[in-house]
């Protein structure tokens, strides 16, 4: 490749363009906006006289990141010429710095950045935490709803099958109603004073339970009540004497046949007087069950003859604890 004989007029100066000479592997000039190889551009100065054309070329380069500023100067046939060009990061020449910067290729993202996932582990942790909190919250709400539904069903069942208000006469001769015991836990037993063995055994069991609950500071006082199923013989005086034999905490109730019948029907208690003997004595057949009533006057549980006093105590304690938790949630 020989020296380029073409020239351009640039402000009255004849200046060949930069190129590479095949004979000497040195720089010479070629048109602007064409590419030059990086090894041909060095920082500092280069002085070179072209062998074939006699053109003296001086090249000085300074770096203006991300550009190279190259000052070209030389003499051809007695004509001095000089020009400043700019080489961008892709090694293309431009006549102005603005053109070189505007045509700089965009910076490539690093491999780490290009492979970086838009979802980081921190984002995953936050999402997992929020999802876990939401799941726990939903579980708690669902559990509370289930407990409330269960309690509602229990109330409906209790109101429909067992329990109810009654008005009777206590063993002190006072007229009292079941509503007088609102705010208290009540344990009710239906029996009669002339019962030979079963009633005394059941009442003694109730007294053992009451003594145990009275010692438990975490439990409220429970009122034990005995309602007679033999209103003809069980007067207030007879009930007072009978209850005193077991515990001063016992409270006996009697009333008319109609009042006793209403109370027993409310709790589905069966009773039937047997035939009288020569002394007009008789036995009353009846259900052997104790009934637990909460402070709202609602039936909660029942305990048959096969239940021991520790079992009754544990069951009552559990019911009271459950009731207290529900009351706190209501407030």
Q: Model confidence over 262-279: pLDDT tens digits? A: 999 999 999 999 998 888
- What average pLDDT does this structure show over 299-315? 96
Q: What crossing angle do the helices spanning 121-161 and 309-330 adopt, rounded to 10°?
A: 120
Tell me the binding residues for Cu cation. Answer: 195, 199, 286
Predicted TM-score of the model (pTM): 0.54
Cis peptide before 5 (omega within 30 of 0): no
Say what percent of the chain tops pLDDT 70. Answer: 59
Binding residues, by number, are 195, 199, 286
Confidence check: pLDDT of 213 > 50: yes
Sort residue 45 into left (φ over 0), alpha (ψ -120 to 50) or beta.
Answer: beta
Q: Where is average pLDDT lowest: 96-105, 229-238, 286-295, 305-314?
A: 96-105
The answer to whether domain 161-330 has CATH 3.40.30.10 is yes
CA distances (Å), origin 285, targets 161, 196, 198: 22, 11, 11
Q: Where are the domains of the chain?
A: 8-105, 161-330
Residue 314 has pLDDT above 90, yes or no: yes
Label residue 316 by pLDDT band (50, 70, 90): very high
Give the model confidence (pLDDT) of 59-113 as tens digits: 444 454 555 566 555 555 555 556 666 655 555 655 666 665 666 555 555 555 5
Helix segments in 77-187, DSSP class H = 97-102, 111-114, 121-161
Choice among 108-117, 134-143, 190-199, 314-323 with the minimum mean pLDDT:
108-117
In sequence order, the β-bridge partners of residue 167 are: 177
Nearest by Cα to 97 from 74, 57, 63: 63
- Cβ–Cβ under 8 Å, residues 222 and 186: yes
> Which candidate, 77, 95, 78, places its Cα nearest to that of 87?
95
pLDDT value at residue 74: 55
């Amino acid at each position: 490749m020989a020296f380029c004989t073409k020239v351009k007029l640039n402000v009255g100066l004849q200046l060949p363009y930069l190129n590479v000479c095949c004979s000497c592997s040195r720089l010479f000039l070629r048109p602007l906006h064409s590419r030059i190889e990086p090894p041909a551009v060095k920082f500092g100065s280069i002085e070179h006289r072209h062998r074939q054309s006699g053109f003296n070329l001086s090249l000085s380069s300074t770096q203006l990141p991300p550009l190279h500023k190259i000052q070209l100067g030389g003499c051809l046939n007695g004509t001095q010429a000089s020009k400043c060009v700019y080489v961008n990061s892709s090694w293309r020449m431009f006549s102005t710095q603005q053109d070189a910067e505007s045509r700089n290729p965009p910076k490539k993202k690093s491999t780490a950045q290009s492979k970086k996932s838009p979802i980081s582990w921190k984002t995953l942790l936050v999402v997992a935490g929020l999802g876990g909190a939401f799941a726990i919250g939903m579980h708690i709400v669902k559990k509370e709803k289930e407990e409330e539904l269960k309690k509602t069903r229990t109330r409906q069942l209790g109101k429909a099958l067992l329990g109810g208000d009654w008005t009777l006469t206590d063993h002190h001769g006072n007229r009292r109603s079941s509503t007088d015991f609102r705010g208290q836990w009540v344990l009710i037993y239906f029996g009669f004073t002339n019962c030979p063995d079963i009633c005394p055994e059941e009442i003694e069991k109730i007294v053992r339970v009451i003594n145990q609950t009275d010692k438990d500071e975490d439990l409220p006082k429970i009122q034990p009540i005995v309602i007679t199923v033999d209103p003809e013989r069980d007067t207030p005086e007879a009930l007072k004497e009978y209850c005193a034999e077991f515990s001063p905490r016992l409270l006996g109730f009697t009333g008319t046949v109609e009042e006793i019948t209403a109370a027993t029907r409310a709790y589905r208690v069966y009773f039937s007087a047997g035939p009288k003997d020569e002394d007009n004595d008789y036995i009353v057949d009846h259900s052997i069950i104790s009934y637990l009533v909460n402070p709202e006057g609602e039936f909660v549980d029942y305990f048959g003859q096969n239940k021991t006093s520790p079992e009754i105590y544990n069951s009552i304690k559990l019911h009271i604890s459950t009731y207290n938790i529900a009351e706190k949630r209501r407030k």
